[in-house]
Structure 1
Amino acid sequence: MTPDSAPEFPDDAERWQEWWAHNEERWLDLRTRVRSAQASPEGRTTTHERAADAVFLSQHVIPALIASLADDQPEAVRREALLALAEIGAPELRRADAADDFNRLALQAARSPRQALAESALVAIGLAGGDEHVRKLVHVLHGCGDGTAWLETGRISDRQRAFAAYGLGLASVQSENHDLRRYVVHHLDMTLAREPGAPDDVRTACVQAMGLAALPWCDRGTDEVDGRIPAECRESQLVFLTELVEDRREDRIVRAHAATSVARLLVGAPEAWREEIGTRLCKQFEDRRDTPRELRQSLALALGMTGDSDGDALDKRVRRDLEKAIASTDQPTRHFATLALAETAARPGIGAGEPLGAAASVRRDMLSQLARGKSTQRPWAGLALGLLGSGLNECGALPSEDASRALASRLGDARSPEEVGAYALALGLRQDGQERGAIEEKLADFAGRDEARGHLALSLGLLGARNAQEPLRTVELDSSRRPWVLRQTSVALAMLDDGELPARLSRELSATKSLPEGVGLAHSLGRVGGRAAAETLLARLQDPQLPDVARGACAGALGEIHARGRFPWQTHYAAGANYLAGTRLFGAGSTDGLLAMP
């Protein structure tokens, strides 16, 4: 979600493309696909080669990234290198005997008068996963004397406090230490419950971070937990955050993000707790008069993460509420409810009735919207059919061929990039290879339309049809000066296990003299991985004659190739979030906030 990762689409955050940009990693799961292909018996990476790659990482990549953090390096390079090393993670840094150097240089960056560099460092310190720095981030969150001493400053800004909270959330994701998570939750609670005058940016960051700091369940009943002590267990976290959602005195943006944090923490809940918290979320969602629009939008997303497809009373209520919301006068609520309803219908339940009992009726509703809905609603209905089909595939149920045919028909008739992209991605998500021809036909028709062409290419990758490699290679050759299309096409080819792709992109990157082309190729190489890619990126990172931005892109791509996590770090905060409930530091309107970081 870096600023140069997409073309300049019309400034409309309510389009489906914005939702996809925040959530696509959940559906692409590219790192898993690429690494699985390389580790498979048919893959090209042997045990010996993997060992050699580990040596290359510890002896070449990490030292080069550490060197890129030096004071005399450009800010663009230092920011990317910081987050790249953090993505690689503390365990690998320790194995490379580089943890102390990273800690020292990251602290040096956090003390920098350059705001963007200092804020990136606070996030990187948490993301790296070294438990020893959590206490320091807590001091920054509180803005106390220990925090000012650590940062060697007279005053800690509200922005620094918020980024420290975001860093604490990421540190919680990386740690398996439940005591550390309790410590984090305790101090987030201190800011939320005991500092009511804290700025909204800080409070919003705290509720988002708490949604990542999942504590163990304590097996208590719904009437046995005190929400005033959220650091006690998962149940107390849920009660605490749900009470924030219900508190009319609380800022509406804080309440909105509390709702999605509740939904994240509710995953895997005992049924009694899912019913208790889900019912309270439904009640708030149904109270239209006293529920701000940002909160209703978030509640639609949260209910989509909470409900399932069986016949339990709660799940029927969730689906009924979402169906009603599709007729809402607030367009984002209507759109989010459309996708949320599809997600619930594709999630098998374990309660009353059939596990996937709602799938057929929701499919019919979406097909009706696709056929007769307004032009602004049809792409969302199409995308919802894609999510429904993807979910059914995941649990071993066959998606409806009727829905795929309807999407292919709509794709054939579509003339706007808005509709073409949505219907193509929907077909890709459904993995219905019979409709590949419709996608390839549009790929040829929209040769000069970057927005549509990128999504069409990606949809072919999602289909998983290796015989689609040839048309995608043609797009790749035509897109060297179209960074966003090249990136989408490279991802598609990586999903189709194109073994020659890293070498091809590496040759192009080595030969290019264009800055935009070089940045685009570096980002693409980061997504597809491979030793050839890493060697090329490393050489360019160490070339002082290259522009700062080009070297920084290479540093970031090296972090992507060697990252330890399943998803890019931004996904922890972006996926499932209400990006329309924006603050200065988070959301669709934030140009220098969390998700705008490299």
Structure 2
Amino acid sequence: MHARTNPGFLAVLPALVITGVLSAHGGQYRGPAPAEQLPPAPTSPPQLPVASPPAPFTPPKLPTPAPGSRGPLSGGAPVPGVPGGPRTPRGIPLAEDLTRWQLWWEMNKDRYLLLRERQAGPQGPVTGDDEWYLGATRRAAKPILPGAARVARDTIVPALHRALVDTNDPHLVTACLIALAKIGEDHRDFALLDVLVRYLPARFQQTRETAALALGITRRAAALPLLRDLLLDNATGRKLARRSEVDGRVRAFAAYGIGILAAHGGVDLKAEAFAVLDSVLHDAKVWDRDIKVAAISALGVMRLDPRAGAKHKLLLWKVVPSLDKFYRAELGKAAQLVQAHVPVAVGRLLGRGAGVDAARFRERFRDELFPRVKRGPEIHQSAAIALGLLGRPADTDVGDALQRYHEFGRDQQAWWFSTIALGEIGGDANRTRLLSLLTRGRKATERPWAGLALGVLTYRARTATPTARADSTVGVALLEQLRVVKNKEAAGAFAIALGLCGHREAAPVLRARLVEERHHDGLAGAICTGLALLGDRKACGVLRSVMMQSVRRPELLRQAAVALGCLRDRQAVRDLLDLIGEDNRNTARMAAVAGALQMIGDESTLAELLKRLRDRDLTTLSRAFVAAALGGIGDPQPIPFNARYAMDSNYRAVVPTLTDQATGILDLL
């Protein structure tokens, strides 16, 4: 329980009812618009001095900005609302309270749903290793289609390329660029990188941004020199862009692309990527905060594993000090929004190691929760997230600090990140803390976050070893909260937490509750997700019914469809194909259907989708959604390309190219 009244640190945004398509590169809504309005931009860029402790300051009360607002380390002039590719309203509807648990779940759900692994089934082929994201026993699945690379190369790729070259519509162009990049295959008649480069000088800014990002999504080492030149804004980069200077947003997306590329590349490529990102991060002439945040975020997702050899370890010893130097530099209070991305990046890189570096940063970020000098709320938020990544059950001082912040800390969002961090760290002591909060905390606010944290804790525990069983004590406690709670948003959190916990005894209750609450989109959608996480195939019938009754409620339709995909229900694919052909004027429904198809589609889906991609009687926007679905089906990766940036992110310390409700990397499909 909190020792004082909640200060209610809420960023207030106008409510958005998602009834149509929100234009972007081909994406979805994941997060809020930039939440802090910074002071006016300086006439010259701030200097980056040598590392030193942060200067004390008193943070101002800051109103909410419009996307694209200027400020120190900011991204220049506001971005005009140029058209882009299709969007699907995949996230929660915007509300004034950005501290709600739904936003955290939207950012982090991919690692738990893992659709490709679920669809492949226990006998499905697996390959590779992505332990940090998927867990110690969760391995990255191969594509779900037999001979998927050949199918994509010979069927999907030429169809997407044909649609791309035959249109000037930016919706369809950007959707095809992202889809082709996801598949990552050359064709006998054209080379993928050559196709993408042709769109770097495009008329529409979002097309240029998409082309730059797509170079990284290809996972091709040959794309690194192109991305380097764009990010550095050198003569070669300007020639590629056919401009006197490379747009700041294009440079930021090039940095994000380098991060994706480095995550999939060998250690030598990672070293080259670090050299480029490091030079931009510490270049005093670069004061665009979108570029700085992109560089920090890209360094954080490079996937450096000291166990992989000396080269990895040596490179890690370069990357972490580089980030630390920027974090400790005295750049002024306005730059703290940018510096707040460093703790998350460090946490992603170091993980729960036992080395000196990990211990030093655990102590550093623990102390950031209660600093001697006043720090902005985004620093507290990121410190809590980082401790969740770095902490181990044996680190009792970390658990004590997180609990203390939840009880006495200043920022409400950091309370909830501290609660989730306890679940991420795990262990008996944190389990006890969270169970106490679940039963004694405020019903509508604290208990839902405690429930999700317990779901995370038990999920990690039961997936750490193949023989682990679900925690029945936690499961019973969560089920009791679901039964007695009256607040429907809180009930949704408990439904998802029960799925994470693996408490199968909850399945009949959830099925009955879904029928009862089918007219309440938020709770019904959360129950769909909970049933999917439980692997309850008995729910397929009621899930299909909910999906088909939700044709005018696109978010619930999508959640029911994704749940059916997790349960490998092939009837859902046929039903979705019927829906996509009924009324292409309903763009919100088209967005939801296409978004679901790209996640659950299989070989039987291809012929119909390819037919619709070629159908010129459809609107170009409808064809763009089809292109996005095809790209998702042909994507060999187990998680979306932007999930590395979304998971464990501080989505409250945002800049427009990270997420702005429309055109950030986290908003893309």
TM-score computed with the length of structure 1 as normaliser: 0.88
**Cross-structure match for 1:172:** 262
Alignment match, 1:2? 28
| Preserved CA contact (<8 Å) 2:377 2:411 | yes
Indicate the larger mover: 209-218 or 420-429.
209-218
TM-superposed CA distance for 1:5, in Å, is 2.0
Task: Report whether the alignment pairs 1:194 with 2:283.
Answer: yes
Alignment of 1:241-390 (within 5 A): 241-249=323-331, 251-267=335-351, 269=353, 271-287=355-371, 289-309=373-393, 311=394, 315-327=395-407, 328-345=409-426, 358-359=427-428, 361-374=429-442, 375-390=444-459
2:545 aligned to which of 474, 487, 493: 474
RMSD: 2.6
> Pick from 107, 110, 116: which aligns with 1:31?
116
1:512: how far off? 3.9
Secondary structure of 1:62 counterpart? helix
1:20-46 CA-to-partner distances (Å, cap 9, x unmatched) read: 1111001111122113368379xxxxx
SS, match of residue 198 in structure 2: helix
Local SS of the residue matching 1:415 = coil
**Counterpart position of 1:350:** none
CA contact (8 A) 1:214 1:234 kept: no
Alignment partner of 2:570: what SS?
coil
Alignment match, 1:119: 209
| TM-fit CA distance, 1:362 | 2.1
The aligned amino acid for 1:233 is L
Which residue does 1:352 correspond to in 2? none
Per-residue deviation at 1:513? 4.3
The reply on whether 1:519 has 2:580 as its aligned counterpart is: no
Q: Are the counterparts in 1 of residues 217 and 257 from structure 2 also a CA contact under 8 Å?
A: yes
Relative to 1, partners in 2 of residues 1:413 and 1:232: Cα closer, same or farther, differing over 3 Å? same
Q: Show the 5 A alignment for 1:52-91.
A: 53-70=148-165, 72-89=167-184
C-alpha change, 1:301 and 1:39, in structure 2 (3 Å) is same
- C-alpha displacement of 1:208: 0.6
Deviations 1:43-88 (A, max 9, x none): xxxx9x9556544322221101111221634211111111111111
- CA offset digits 1:239-285 (Å, max 9, x no partner): 22123333343621221111111011103745333223323332333
Shift of 1:438: 2.5
Deviation at residue 364 of structure 1 after TM alignment: 2.5
CA distance in 1, matches of 2:556, 2:145: 31
- What is the rounded CA distance, in whole Å, between the counterparts of 1:430 and 1:196 in structure 2? 49
Once the 2 structures are TM-superposed, how far is the Cα of residue 111 of structure 1 from its aligned partner? 0.8
Shift of 1:135: 1.3
1:535 alignment counterpart: 607
Could you report, residue by residue, the CA deviation over 1:564-598 in whole angstroms, capped at 9, with x for unpaired residues? 211001101111110000112224x4532222233
2:306 and 2:313 in contact (8 A); partners too: no
Distance 1:273 1:551 in 2: 50
> C-alpha separation between the residues in 2 aligned to 1:444 and 1:526?
27
Preserved contact between residue 537 and residue 554 of structure 1 (Cα < 8 Å):
yes
Which amino acid in the other structure matches residue 591 of structure 1?
Answer: A
In 2, Cα distance between equivalents of 1:294 and 1:83 = 31
Which amino acid is the alignment partner of residue 490 of structure 1? Answer: A
Distance 1:206 1:40 in 2: 35
Distance 1:169 1:40 in 2: 27
Cα deviations by residue, 1:273-325 (Å, 9 ceiling, x for unpaired): 3223323332333426343210110110111011122x3xxx22221211111
Write the letter of the residue equivalent to 1:301: I
Residue 437 of structure 1 aligns with an amino acid whose one-letter code is P
Q: TM-score, normalised by structure 2?
A: 0.79
1:351 corresponds in structure 2 to none
> In the aligned structure 1, how far is the partner of 2:123 from the partner of 2:189?
27
Paired AA for residue 158 in structure 2? P
CA contact (8 A) 2:366 2:401 kept: yes
Post-superposition CA distance 1:512-537 (Å, at most 9, x none): 44433333222211111211212222
The alpha-carbon deviation at position 167 of structure 1 amounts to: 1.2
Whole-angstrom CA distance in 1 between matches of 2:402 and 2:90: 33
Q: Which residue in 1 is equivalent to 2:462? A: 393
Q: Distance in 2 between matches of 1:392 and 1:231?
A: 28
Whole-Å separation in 2 of the counterparts to 1:483 and 1:501: 15
Shift of 1:197: 4.5
Cα pair 1:582 1:590 within 8 Å, conserved: no
Classify the secondary structure of the residue corresponding to 2:202.
coil
Per-residue deviation, residues 370-408 of structure 1 (Å, max 9, x unmatched):
222123222111111111121121124444323222221
Are the structure 2 counterparts of residues 85 and 130 from structure 1 closer, same or farther at C-alpha, using a change threshold of 3 Å? Answer: same
Amino acid in the other structure paired with 2:430: V
Greater RCO structure (CA 8 Å; 6+ sep): 2
Q: Deviations over 1:528-574 (max 9, x none)?
A: 12112122221111111112221111111111111121100110111
Q: Which residue of 2 aligns with 1:353?
A: none
The answer on whether the counterparts of 2:305 and 2:313 sit within 8 Å (CA) in structure 1 is no
SS at 2:109 equivalent: helix
Structure 1 stretch displaced more, 446-455 or 236-245: 236-245
The alignment of Structure 1 onto Structure 2 pairs a total of residues equal to 561
Establish whether residue 22 from structure 1 lines up as the match of residue 107 from structure 2: yes
Flag the 1:6–1:214 CA change in 2: closer, same or farther, 3 A. Answer: closer
The structure richer in helix per residue is 1
Is the partner of 2:164 in helix, strand or coil?
Answer: coil
CA distance in 2, matches of 1:216, 1:393: 24
1:447 paired residue number = 518
C-alpha displacement at 1:427, in angstroms? 0.5
- CA gap of 1:581–1:592, structure 2 versus 1, over 3 A, is same
